Amino acid sequence: MKEKTILKLLFPALALLFLQSNTQAQEKDTIFRGLRIGADISGLMRYAFGNNASQYAFSLDMPLNKNWYPTLEVGYYQQNTQNSKLTYQLAGTYFEAGLDHNLIGVKDSTRIERDMAYLGYRLCFSNYNHKSSFYEITDSLWSPYTGSFEKQSNNAFWVQVTGGFKTELFQNFFLGWNVKMNIKIYTKTSSGIQAVYIPGFGKPSKNVNFGIGFSLYYLIPF
C-alpha cells in the first residue's frame, strides 16, 4: 500500500520534471547562439555611383545574453580628388566598439529571436592621414594662391548612438539597415590642417554627423 502511494506521488513529480526539462531544452534551442560577421555595402554602393571615395567595413557581433550583443566594427576609407584646382589624397582606418540592445526580446519563434530591432552604443576612434600635391585658392580681390602640403597624420574620438534592423533572409544570412548619430569628442591634427573627412565620423566641421548604412551578415552557429 505504501509502495502504491509512493508511486502515485513519484510519477507526477517525474512527469513534471520531464516536462520542465523539455521546455527548457526547447527554449534553449531557440536562443540565438553564434558569431555574426557583417560587411557594410554602403561604401561600395556610393563608389559604384561615381563617388571619388571608397569605404570598406566589417563587423562582428554575438549574444552576451538574451538582449545584449557586444559588437565590433573595423573600417577603411580612401579618397582621391583630382581636378584643375586640387590634387588631394586621404586614407585612414576607424574602429567602433560597443553594445546593441535587441528590442524584440526572446519570443517563441526562432526567426523573431534571430532577427533584431536594436539600439546600439559605441566608442569610436579613427587614425587617418591626408596630403595635397597641389591646391589653388581663388579670391575676387586677390590673385590666386597655390600651394601644397606633405602627408599629415590626424586622429579623432567620438561616441555613437545607432539604431536599426537585422533580418534573416534565409538560413544564417541576414540583411541589415541602420541609422548612426556620431558625436565628436576630440580631434587632433599634426599641423593644424584639418582633413576634409574623418573616416567613420564624417565632416570634421560638424560636431554631430548622421549616416545611413546597409550591411550583409552571415551567422556562424555554435
Do 23 and 83 belong together in one domain? no
The whole-number pLDDT of residue 104 equals: 85
The whole-number pLDDT of residue 145 equals: 79
Going from the C-alpha of 117 to that of each of 94, 176, 211, the distances in angstroms are 25, 10, 18
8-state DSSP, 198 = B
The whole-number pLDDT of residue 106 equals: 63
Do 105 and 169 belong together in one domain? yes
Do 17 and 50 belong together in one domain? no
The whole-number pLDDT of residue 7 equals: 38
Distance between CA 5 and CA 155 in Å, rounded?
A: 77
Do 95 and 122 belong together in one domain? yes
The sign of the CA dihedral 28, 30, 36, 40 is negative
What is the grid cell recorded at 188?
587632433
Domain containing residue 184: 34-221
The whole-number pLDDT of residue 21 equals: 40
Listed residue (196, 214, 192, 199) closest to 157, CA to CA: 199
Do 25 and 38 belong together in one domain? no
The whole-number pLDDT of residue 219 equals: 95
Do 10 and 87 belong together in one domain? no
Whether the model pTM is above 0.95: no
Looking up residue 207, the CATH number of its domain turns out to be: 2.40.160.20
Do 9 and 46 belong together in one domain? no
Listed residue (130, 53, 152, 132) closest to 87, CA to CA: 132
Do 94 and 182 belong together in one domain? yes
Give tens-digit pLDDT for 80-120.
Answer: 988 888 889 999 999 999 999 999 866 554 444 688 999 99
Listed residue (128, 134, 114, 132) closest to 187, CA to CA: 128
The whole-number pLDDT of residue 81 equals: 87
Listed residue (49, 59, 89) closest to 200, CA to CA: 59
Do 5 and 82 belong together in one domain? no
| Residues in the chain, pLDDT under 70 | 1-32, 47-50, 105-113, 140
Give tens-digit pLDDT for 61-87.
Answer: 998 887 899 999 999 999 998 888 888
Do 24 and 41 belong together in one domain? no
